[in-house]
Every structure is written in C-alpha cells, then in structure tokens.
A and B are shown apart, each in its own frame.
Chain A
Amino acid sequence: MAEESLKIASIQNPRVTCEGSSVLLDVNDGDRLVFARLSTAATIKIGNKKCSLGPMIGCPFGSLFQVESGPKGPYLSRVVSTSEGSNTQRKDNSQLKDELKDNRAIIDDNTAQSLSGEDIDAMRRQGAAGDEIVEALIANSSTFEKKTLFSQEKYRLRKQKKYAPRVLMRRPFARSICEAYFKKHPARIGFMRIDALSLLLSMANVGAYSDVLVVDMVGGILTGAVAERLGGTGYVCNTYLGDTPYSMDIVRIFNFSDEINRRIMRSPLSNLCSSKSKTSEHSEKENALSSVSTEQTDLPSGNGTTDTILTSMHETNSSLVDKPCKSTKPGERASPEILESWKQNGFSSLIIAAPELDTWKAVQELLPLLSYSAPFAIYHQYLQPLATCMHKLQVTKMAIGLQISEPWLREYQVLPSRTHPCMQMSAFGGYILSGMRIYSG
C-alpha cells in the first residue's frame, strides 16, 4: 500500500529527468539561470563552448555537471565526487594562521600570474581538465599564499567559474521559477518576489480541492504556483477581461502532469458573471470557437515565448520538443458544467495580480463570485491602488480582516567569523492587500 502510494507520488513529482523534461539550469552557482527542455538536440552555451544537454537526460534533479573537453569538443560530464569535503578540512586547519594575514603585501601590477594565455591554451590542447588548469593557476600565482584564506577561496572560485564552469540541474518549482524571473526579468512577473508570491498562496488558503479564481497578468507565474499547490485536484480559474486571455507561458516551465494541466481553466470574466441561461446558450458556440482559438493562441506563444525566454535569458538553443505522449494543454476554456458549479458554490478564494487593471473596479466585480468567508489576496507593485481599494472595501463593508502588508526579505552570508547580511539585497518585493468576504444578504 505504502509503496504503491509512493510510486504514484513519484510519478506526480518526478525526481529524475526524461526526454522532454523542463529543467532549470544554474550555471556557476547562480551566475546564470537558464530554463531549458531536455532533448538530445538541445544545447547550452557556456562561455564560448556549446554543449549538448543530452547527458542530463535520465539524471536525478540536483545533479551537478562540469564542462569538459573531449575529442568531439566540449561536453557536460556529471560530477559525483565529494572533493568539497576535503576543502573544508584544509580550511579548518589553517584557520588560526590565517587570521594574521592581510592585504598589505599585495601589489596590483599584473605580474603575479606567471602562466600566460598561451600556456593555458597549450594545457587545454593536451586535454587538461578544468580543475587541473585552476590548480596550475594557483601554483603559478606568486601572491596566492599571501592572500587571506577568504580571498584564496574567492580566487579559487573565480578561476573555477572561468576554467571549469559548473551547471546544476534543478527541478522547476514555483520557488525557483519566481526567483529566476525576479533576478532576470522582474518586470515580466510584475516585480513579484518569492516571499510575496508565497504570502499570496497562504493568504488565499490555496490547498487541495480548492477552487481558486485568479487574475494573472504576471505571465502565468501565479496560475502555475496555484496549480502546483492543487496537485491535480480542485481548479484554478484564470479569468480575464475582454476577449483575449492573458499570457500564461510560464505555466509551461513547470513540469506539470496532464492531471495538473487539466485543473487549469480559463474563462472570460463575462462568463463567470453572466446569468445561468445566458451562459449555456453562449457556451456551445464559444466552446466550438475556443478550442480553435486556444490552439491559435497557444501554439505561437508556446514555441515563440518559451524560446524568447530561453534565448533572452540565455543563449540556449533547445528546440522545444513536445513530450512524446499526447499531453493536455493547460488553460482549456471552462465548460458550462464547471461554470455552473462555480456559480452554485462560489470560488473558495481569489488572488489578483493585475498591475494594469483598476484594482477597486476589479474587486467590485470579482468579490461577489467568492463564497462567504472566502479569503482573497491582491498583489500590486504600487501602494496607492491597494490603499484606495482597502478604504472602499471598509466603507462598503464588503470584507473584513483587511490588511496591507509588505514583505521584507534579507539574505545572510554565514561564514566562520564572517557572518553578516548580504551586501546587496532586493529592497522591494510588492504589496499585498488581504481580507475575507463577508455575508451581507
């Protein structure tokens, strides 16, 4: 029994890649983040070397790869050593001696390194591994021994990044996707930081079997994050004003199963608000249309955008091979039956991340679609629209428990005797207005 359910869990939540898996590649410890889809034809460019992503297929997520040069050019080779353990050891031994050193004897005159560019090229031609070049550079640096231990580490790391770059393969999760976008293209996700996204999901009580209404004008990160928490149960309804659905390309980066994709619905707001009879009349016509129109909107945006992400984020060249099995696309038009059930029961929560909409007007239309006592959370990168909306909600007595919060996130460098907050931090991750709908009938 237990084994059976574990098996199911591992299908739902795969820890090993296969052909067609979406992956997040972390180059040199966060220096570069690349989304890619694994196939034998896909490649990644690191420095001036182009490597096939083929060796990554069938490896567990979390695997580390290093660029090596082989007879057929550079290739990715999996690193399975535990050499880092011995590094730590050495560090501890020299800890005491080190504290007496400083940088008074170091003169910046470009003569410290006796190994020339030609020497390094020659080493490469002889098939030296990246690590060997790094060791040679250290051995030939006249100042290395004079550096403090901390700057020796920094030196080693800098050379390693250049001569022996590493690629870590990560599972794309709401967390890693949001972090990657926030770092590279914050505007595409409305400057929503991971702590703000996490708060939205908690404040809106997103969990299995909930029916979550979202207005996602942040590229689909919100829709994807909600679907991830639903795990193939309940529904996330991505609603939009007018006739054109908002893009949700980021959803494709998640490795969602068909079961999860089926739970991602789209519906124009007019369909959610209109009366019962009108919907069923419309829906047949619209359904016939929608299957075509989703195809149309999905296909170009699918190939196009993911490629844009790939190319703009990095110079990867992975053709987006569709999964071998026929897969369900996320964002089908909600059927009349589902619309009807939402109308009967109300949504269990609401999340809005729509920087371009009038917040108060949107809330006036959307809040009545929620069950009584249902929580909601509204994201905005500016405070004023939320302040206005909160005031109006107070005056009209539509909701209680109203609060505007702004998360603050600080990362720390933790090292022996060198612990302090990181020198650079994100100063802003967005504002959230949260509350609960009340019964006013």
Chain B
Amino acid sequence: MLSMDPGKKISFQRRICDGDLAIVYERHDSMKAVKVHEGSELQNRFGVFKHADWIGKSFGSKVFSNKGGFIYLLAPTPELWTLVLSHRTQILYIADISFVISYLEVIPGCLVLESGTGSGSLTTSLARAVAPTGHVHTFDFHEQRAASAREDFERTGLSSLITVEVRDIQGEGFPDDFRGLADSVFLDLPQPWLAIPSAGKMLKQDGILCSFSPCIEQVQRSCETLKASFTDIRTFEVLLRTYEVKEGRMEYGAGDESDSLGPLPCKRRQCSSDGSIGSESFSAPVIMARPCSETRGHTGYLTFARLKCLQ
C-alpha cells in the first residue's frame, strides 16, 4: 500500500501481479478490496471477472467481465482502504483522519500510541505518516478485534509499522515501556479521562494528545482531566460538504409559457425536445455545482492538548 516498498510503488512500469491487493472500483460509492489470485474469479452485478485477466495490466486499468460489464482496478491507498475495510466498529473518515494526523504533528520517525484499534481506519493513515522509521503501537481490549486488525495490516502490508496489542487502556493504562517515548497519543475510548493520566506519562515533553469523542459530555470531562498536566487544550469538529456538478442549459423567457412550471419540469422538457425550440431562447451550456443533499452531520469532537513543558 505504501511507496516505501519499491517493488509495490505505483509507476508506469508497475503491473498487477498474483498476490497483489487491488481495489475494485464499480462506482465512487461502491468499491471492494480483492486479493488477486491467478485461479480466482470475482462475481458481481456486472458479471464474472477472471483474476487471470487482470495480471499484467496496469493499476488504473478498466477490466471486463464475461458479459462485457467493466470495473476499474486501483492501487490501494489508506484513503481507499477506509472506504472498503470491514466495519467491526464505528470508524473514522477522511476529514477527521487527515485533521488528526496534521494536528498531532505526526511525521516520519514518530512513535505514536493509539487506543482503541477499532477497525484500523485511522491506524492505516498513522502508519503511512510515521513510515519508514517510526512505529504505531495500537491497543484494543477486544481480543478478536485485535486479531482481525492484525490480519488486515498483514493484508495491506503495514505490519512492519504497526504493533497491535490486546490491552484495556482505560483500566490498565499504556505499558510502562513507552514512558516518555511517545510523540503523540490518540484516544478513541468511551471514558477517555481514565486513560489521560497514563497518556500524559507516555508523551515526550510538548507531545500532543488527541481524544475523539462523539458526545460533548465526554469532551467536558476529558478537558477537566487534561487541565492537570496539559496546555493548549482545544476542541474541534470537522466535517466535509461534497458537491455535485452537472452541465445545464439556462432558459429565458421565449419558451412555451404554459409549460414553465418551475425548474424541474423545464429540465425534463429541455432534454426531450432539445433543438425543437428556437435556439435563441437557450444560452450556452453552463457547469453548475450544488452541495449534495445528504451528508454526515456529526462524527465526533476532536480534543487536542499538549503536554506541559516543565523541565
């Protein structure tokens, strides 16, 4: 998934090989991760796709099914992985993820602690940010979830950058081996205030902590606890608004008056009878954009704080 592996890095020369992880792209909202296997097939609503046909093609290629349907094969990235991974828990999405990475000042070589691991959506992006010399230690108290996460990181080729451990961070705190070594700590826990004192011990001076909580009561309580040894305590909410774009023709006046019933019916008529109406009543086609009607309204609050620098 990452460029640090020279054999896997995308390039004009790179071809899909047996054993590669590919993202099958049907539509922007319909994607799937597939391990390419010489003898395997992929079956979906577009027909049957033979993996053997994919081998030797470039990533980014369009491939066809027995029925002539097509999909695209993409090289995996942490962003695509977030869209295809199996949800074992609620996951973090790109707006929160990208903001967390920047605000935690995670750069190559950093040591980052995370709890819980959840479905590993953020972990994947953290791994990219600390590569090639840093490391992410992630903890989840759920044994099965930790095991699945480990399998996922194996599959995405990130296991050299991530260590998954089973541990109840709220109850036991982070392992003492990391005392004073962490550049950043990320908490996504139901009672983060229980883990904050331990997180403070793990951080280097001036190191940064982030706590993600969906509810404001959790934030309130975390901030109270943070005051003891942290400074620069700030809470944010970050969301994305997406836009849809279409080409339209604007009509003015001259058309059949009886027909003008507002924008929608006009639109339909315009499509069916384009050309039959005098062309002077239409201006040139225009590209128009509007926000998509439905969107995620809330994910969680992100609280950041810096360990006070006392020495």
Contact = CB atoms under 8 A, between A and B. Distances in A.
Nearest to B59: A373
B94 A203 contact: yes
Interface in A1-28: 5-6, 8-9, 12-13, 15
Nearest to A418: B220
Question: Chain B interface: which size bin?
Answer: 35 or more
Contacts of B28: 400-403
Contacts of A386: 289
Contacts of A82: 308, 310
A404 interface: yes
B249 interface: no
Nearest to B240: A405
Interface residues of A, number: 80
Contacts of B79: 202-203, 205, 375
A199 to B, nearest CB: 5
A64 interface: yes
Contacts of A232: 108
Given A62-B306, A199-B98, A207 B3 contact: yes
A173 interface: yes
B205 interface: yes
B3 A436 contact: no
Contacts, number: 244
A201 B264 CA distance: 39
B264 to A, nearest CB: 21
B136 interface: no
Nearest to A200: B98
B109 A9 contact: yes
Interface stretch (B36-44, B223-231, B273-281): B223-231
A241 B253 CA distance: 44
A385 to B, nearest CB: 10
Nearest to B306: A62
Nearest to B304: A175
Given A60-B311, A175-B103, A210 B3 contact: yes
A80 B11 CA distance: 52
Interface in B233-292: 233-243, 245-247, 287-289, 291
A208 interface: yes
A409 B3 contact: no
A60 B311 CA distance: 8
Nearest to A209: B3
A404 B134 CA distance: 33
Interface stretch (B124-132, B145-153, B190-198): B124-132
A64 B309 contact: yes
Given A208-B2, A234-B3, A401-B28, A373 B10 contact: yes
Contact of A388 (B10, B237, B287, B310): B287
B9 interface: yes
A344 B307 CA distance: 46
A61 interface: yes
A431 B242 CA distance: 9
Contacts of A346: 10-12
Contacts of B57: 439
A53 interface: no
11 contacts: A60-B205, A228-B107, A232-B108, A233-B4, A234-B3, A344-B13, A404-B242, A410-B238, A412-B237, A414-B219, A419-B219
A-B pairs with lowest CB-CB distance, top 5: A231-B108, A62-B206, A372-B60, A62-B309, A373-B60
Given A387-B243, A403-B242, A416-B224, 11 more contacts: A194-B103, A198-B98, A201-B98, A207-B129, A228-B107, A406-B241, A406-B243, A408-B238, A409-B238, A436-B60, A438-B62
